[in-house]
Structure 1
Amino acid sequence: MQRWRSLDEMPAEWGRCVLTIGVFDGVHRGHAQLISRAVKSAAVRGVPSVLMTFDPHPLDVVRPGAHPAQLATLDRRAELAAELGIDVFVVMPFTKDFMKLTPEEYVEELLVNRLHVAEVVVGDNFTFGKQAAGTVDTMRELGRRYGFDVDGVQLLGEHAVTFSSTYIRSCLAAGDVAAAAEALGRPHRIEGVVVHGDGRGKGLGFPTANVAPTMYAAIPADGVYAGWFTDLDDPAAEPRMAAISVGTNPTFDGRNRTVEPHILDFDGDLYDHHVAVDFVEQLRGMRRFDSIEDLVEAIGRDVDQARKVLTSADV
């Protein structure tokens, strides 16, 4: 898969393409449906499939400070798009000038003159252009004028719930990482760097990796989770079972919210490593214990339960 940081990296000999557009935060099952439609249509037409996303998040420009919790980093979105068969992953810088484009300017300047789209695949709730004035119907009207097709897709859902980034964030905020995984099509992942912490876990017999998540990462509700830990700096590293603590360590009157995986059957130095933590199932909520002995006993149960959950889970 090719990855362009802007349309300025387009090859001079670029022909036509099938394009899908959106933030694609999380590349969840609804997004996967759009991507699949674009990939299949591109194969039939014999042209490249292109996914266009934006950086920074549009809300950062429209309403500074309103950036929603991020379900996947830009690199992770590119990786997932490649797995789904996209030929080109292009990042469109979202600027104040870009947000001022009218729907017609957006289509003519970007989709027609630059990308030469043969077809555009979007969700049926897609909006674009200044003040989000353009809709799928607007895109279809402009498609007829400029000679490209438009496929407006109703996003996938189950049990009367549409899979969306907003829905997934609400699941994570409630600690329901299993429901989030169902909508994502895989466990929710946060990435970050292992930093020095208080060292309490090691003293209790359960050393942890103190992960400083990437900016805006969607961190699940406080609690203890079963999940997977992967050292992204080691290309040969396999995911390892982990019992993951998220919260402020109330037994020790902690104030800073941390993400601390205890990696099962592992003893190594991970400081400064770029890592991934995948959340599979919540084991319990976060609580304050009356004694250190009670805490150690609870952590032991957490580890046993995490091992049981993950032994039967898919990586």
Structure 2
Amino acid sequence: MEIIRYSKNIILPNKKRYIALGVFDGVHLGHQKLIKLTVDKAKKNDGISIVATFDPHPDITINPESNVFLLTTLEERINLIKDLDVDVFLIIKFNKMMSKMSPEDFISKILVDSLQVKELFVGFNYKFGFQGKGNTDILREYSKFYKFKTNILKPITANHTIISSTRIKDYIKLGEIEKVKKLLGHDITISGRVISGKGRGRKLLNFATANIETPLDKILPVNGVYLVEIKIDNRKYYGLMNIGIKPTFRETERTIEVHIINFNKKIYNKKVVVNILQKIREEKYFNHPSLLKKQIEDDILIAHKMLNNM
């Protein structure tokens, strides 16, 4: 998959262009279906499949004062989409100028003149253009005028629930990990850089942890202890991840730290990718660090049982 940042004079392979358009936050099952339709149509007609997305998320530019939380960072979206056999991942910078572009100009100047779209693929509730005035009806109307085809994906459901990024975020906030995974079609992913912590894990508890720094707009599950898979230098390990404020040590800042099972290398400043597999327990307060150490030992035993049953 080739990753390209959009410019007015963009150069793409001289083939018919089949474009899936959207933010694709979370790359959930609905997004995957839309992208698969795009890829299949491109292959069938000897064209190229393009996933066109926006960065930063449009809501961040349009409402900078609002607290916008994302299921996936741009890098996480790229990693998830590259497994879907897409030819080109196109990043369109969403700035103030883009936010004020009319739906008609977006279609004519970007989709038609610049990208020369053959077929467009969008979700049933797709909105675009200044103040979100563009919708699927406008796309249908203008596609006839500019002679490209618009394909609109109907709502995708799982267990009688319409799959949407908003609903998935609500489940994450509630800690409903299994429900989230069913709608995403993959594990919840948290990626970031390993930073130095206070060293309590190794010194006080004899359980070294990797402290992970993530963007402030990344949505996180409720505080608790989770069984995770962690990727370091393209190798996979299992571990226990704690999200929370470390109440035993009377801290207030929310942090993410992972104890990697059977691992003792230094990995400061390395980028890691964590996939949440299952929740083990809620975060707890302990009267003494020795009680926390015993609980971690029990958590590791539970983790091994979970892994054996997977």
Q: By the TM > 0.5 criterion, same fold?
A: yes
How far, CA to CA, are the matches of 1:25 and 1:287 in structure 2? 32
CA pair 311-270 structure 1, distance change in 2 beyond 3 A:
farther
Q: Give the secondary structure class of the aligned counterpart of 2:278.
A: strand
Whether 2:282 is the aligned partner of 1:281: answer no
How far, CA to CA, are the matches of 1:246 and 1:119 in structure 2? 43
Identity %: 32
Q: One-letter code of the match for 2:187? A: P
Q: One-letter code of the match for 2:193? A: V
Shift of 1:303: 1.1
Q: One-letter code of the match for 2:221? A: P
Bigger mean CA offset, 159-168 vs 268-277: 159-168
Q: Gaps spanning 5+ residues in structure 1: where?
A: none
How far, CA to CA, are the matches of 1:166 and 1:9 in structure 2? 35
Bigger mean CA offset, 257-266 vs 61-70: 61-70
Whether 2:57 is the aligned partner of 1:96: answer no
Shift of 1:73: 2.1
Match of 1:175 in 2: 175
Whether 2:302 is the aligned partner of 1:305: answer yes
Shift of 1:293: 2.8
Match of 2:254 in 1: 257
Deviations 1:187-231 (A, max 9, x none): 111111111111111121211111111342221110011111111
Alignment size in residue pairs: 309
Q: Give the secondary structure class of the aligned counterpart of 2:175.
A: coil
**4+ aligned runs moved over 4 Å, structure 1:** none
Shift of 1:143: 0.6
Q: Gaps spanning 5+ residues in structure 2: where?
A: none
How far, CA to CA, are the matches of 1:27 and 1:97 in structure 2? 26
How far, CA to CA, are the matches of 2:16 and 2:100 in structure 1? 26
How far, CA to CA, are the matches of 1:43 and 1:212 in structure 2? 40
Q: One-letter code of the match for 2:161? A: V
Deviations 1:129-187 (A, max 9, x none): 11111111110111111101111102322122122211221121112222222222111
CA pair 113-67 structure 1, distance change in 2 beyond 3 A:
farther
Match of 1:269 in 2: 266
Match of 2:17 in 1: 17
TM-score, normalised with respect to structure 2: 0.95
Q: One-letter code of the match for 2:210? A: A
Q: Give the secondary structure class of the aligned counterpart of 1:113.
A: helix
How far, CA to CA, are the matches of 2:12 and 2:195 in structure 1? 44
How far, CA to CA, are the matches of 1:147 and 1:16 in structure 2? 13
In the alignment, is the contact (CA less than 8 A) between 2:224 and 2:244 conserved in 1? yes
Q: One-letter code of the match for 2:269? A: D
TM-score, normalised with respect to structure 1: 0.93
Match of 1:214 in 2: 215
Shift of 1:97: 1.4
Match of 1:148 in 2: 148
How far, CA to CA, are the matches of 1:139 and 1:191 in structure 2? 35
